[in-house]
Structure 1
């Protein structure tokens, strides 16, 4: 049986039949329309007019970096400068004794009221507290001494007339207790209430010290009476001095409080000089050299923080500011333009917090300007704008202008019409 084989026109080499009329033209129109749409999107994207859809995000990759909120806070500007811990500048003791130095205290020793500062001709020079220098001898005047002698003679007669009756008369001159009879009455000649009684603020200052040391029996006032002289004699006895009842100009030295002995300006056996011995206060303090043009922070009572060499910090307070500016050394500073400086003294109330340090380099931090309740961002969030100034980049990639204020603690004050609290801004990596 013969098979009939059917062959297509393609297999026979014939040309393919033409497509139906109109199909090819439709395809061409569709391709052309797609090209127009792509071109339009590209133009819109280039002009920045996109609507922020999926196509926009795919065409602009997000910038790397974290985002932080704009927060409201108080910014405080702090400045740190170098200082020196110590006891302050050593000052010469105003010793007015004359003669040969026979004993000196050890450097660094603390001397309190009634203590011995040094010995001159083997006589102690005592420390007392006060601000008025010792400028004259303190004792009974000639008129007062005469009245005292008359009172003593009268008392002796009274003692003789009452002997055997149990009246013991005057007590010992160093006891400080007035006799029951025959002693000069206050306001009389013996008490120095009239005539040549020594009076003055220096008497009051001395009597206050004498009473503070426990030598009483007199009225603390501006009059040096025979009762004061009795107390002086008891004090002199305790010091191993002749009991004269008179205080010499060189017997005492006044200071505002206890002192710390500095260096000696002479050796044992030398004559007393103006710099025989120096002293400082007993509290450690800090001295800083501040620029005279930038010392507005240095106001008495201003709080500061003192950084110690071991990394700890203690509270300090500005105690005084020098009134005379010191010119910089010639050639000092960059280009020789260093500014004049003034010394600033800072006290430390809690001396125990300093430990055993007596001298060391330290730092002093003080508060300068302060801006309360302002909008802030990390300094790293600031970006420079092409048109000038600074701006912030928002989380969605927009840039807003921001005016900067105080920089402090790694943050910066920002403000602007588009800046608001809580908005997210980017910190570029």
Structure 2
């Protein structure tokens, strides 16, 4: 397609007509004693033509980003059940942080204590017991500063002696044995979510007293199964905060979940992926408590392609798209085929289009 020069003059007939008009104006000006040249003086700024904004055609790899809304919080809340019978006499408040050795709640004015470990408490512990739960408990005793025993999978008399010291410090009967329900194991420190019972309520084995989460803020995203191929645990993602700030993150978990939705007056089960995302720098969440954020998952990619800003595309009268390629002082419209759109750029290909060329980007 022929190039067109910006700012060219009019055709010959128009110029000729203008010359006659100029001559007549000059005669009138002379009769009136007016300097003819002053009639056609114009500010210098008016004669200056703006240079169009341009962008370079680049050869690159484009990766589509699929943004899905998520919720910033502390992850899934877990129920904390009671294994003791009696009256609830002390409870934490929502938001409290409980660490190893701290009181979670009290029944009949005796504390139930948090310790760290992956194995739940499932039996009383006393001299003669052996197993992984014994070693887990002894690791906690040692971490709390009690000694005189060997940390292993055997609950010995030495372990019982250390337990008596621990019980004395807690105000418990010094039996040297740990009843079932006196300790609760969690992987790390916990943050209290909701408190389900009130002081004075009856505590019964199996009843839920409160919910808790971990301390780290994470983003939870509900991903439709149509997009499940985008979710890979360990893959990087982008996190867009409410103020528009972007941060990098990592997919840390994904599990299938089911929810009920109303459709046409009927209830149906909808299956989705509940995806957990952690920020690479947890400090980006410091100023936020609970908020809605966007998580960008990597989608389709196009490698080693020509790309221009999406704004450079022109709609052609005959249909399709083109770009305005700059060549010195002239420009030429080049028809292009478009491919992948990603992050404000679009994959393009067209006859004569090459990396390094400049294209007009309308302001």
- 1:263·1:279 contact (CA, 8 Å) conserved in 2? yes
**Number of aligned residue pairs:** 315
Where does residue 148 of structure 1 map in the other structure? none
| Structure 2 Cα separation of the partners of residues 426 and 405 of structure 1 | 19
SS in 2 for 1:365: strand
| Structure 1 Cα separation of the partners of residues 161 and 115 of structure 2 | 19
Q: Does 1:84 align with 2:43?
A: no
- 1:401·1:418 contact (CA, 8 Å) conserved in 2? no
| Structure 2 Cα separation of the partners of residues 231 and 66 of structure 1 | 77
| Structure 2 Cα separation of the partners of residues 390 and 282 of structure 1 | 52
Where does residue 171 of structure 2 map in the other structure? 240
The two structures have a TM-score, normalised by structure 2, of 0.76
Where does residue 335 of structure 1 map in the other structure? none
**Range 252-261 or range 404-413, more displaced:** 404-413
Please identify the structure whose Cα radius of gyration is greater. 1
Q: CA 1:291 to 1:219, structure 2 compared with 1: closer, same or farther past 3 Å?
A: same
**Range 379-388 or range 88-97, more displaced:** 379-388
Q: CA 1:59 to 1:290, structure 2 compared with 1: closer, same or farther past 3 Å?
A: farther
Q: Does 1:267 align with 2:198?
A: yes
Where does residue 378 of structure 1 map in the other structure? 309
| Structure 1 Cα separation of the partners of residues 226 and 84 of structure 2 | 45
RMSD: 3.2
- 2:74·2:218 contact (CA, 8 Å) conserved in 1? yes
Where does residue 411 of structure 1 map in the other structure? 345
Compute the displacement of 1:215 (Å).
1.1
| Structure 1 Cα separation of the partners of residues 96 and 84 of structure 2 | 21
Q: Does 1:291 align with 2:224?
A: yes
SS in 2 for 1:353: helix
Show CA shifts across 1:66-106 (max 9, x none): 66542323433223332211112322113211111111112
Q: Which runs of 5+ in 1 are unaligned?
A: 1-47, 141-196, 333-338
| Structure 2 Cα separation of the partners of residues 270 and 260 of structure 1 | 22
- 1:207·1:221 contact (CA, 8 Å) conserved in 2? yes
Q: CA 1:110 to 1:409, structure 2 compared with 1: closer, same or farther past 3 Å?
A: same
Q: Which runs of 5+ in 2 are unaligned?
A: 13-50
Compute the displacement of 1:265 (Å).
1.4
Compute the displacement of 1:257 (Å).
0.8
| Structure 2 Cα separation of the partners of residues 305 and 52 of structure 1 | 43
Spell out the pairing of 1:149-298 with structure 2 (5 A cutoff): 197-273=128-204, 274-298=207-231
Where does residue 57 of structure 2 map in the other structure? 70
- 1:218·1:228 contact (CA, 8 Å) conserved in 2? yes
The match for 1:307 among 228, 235, 240 is 240
Show CA shifts across 1:226-263 (max 9, x none): 11111111111111111110000011111111111122
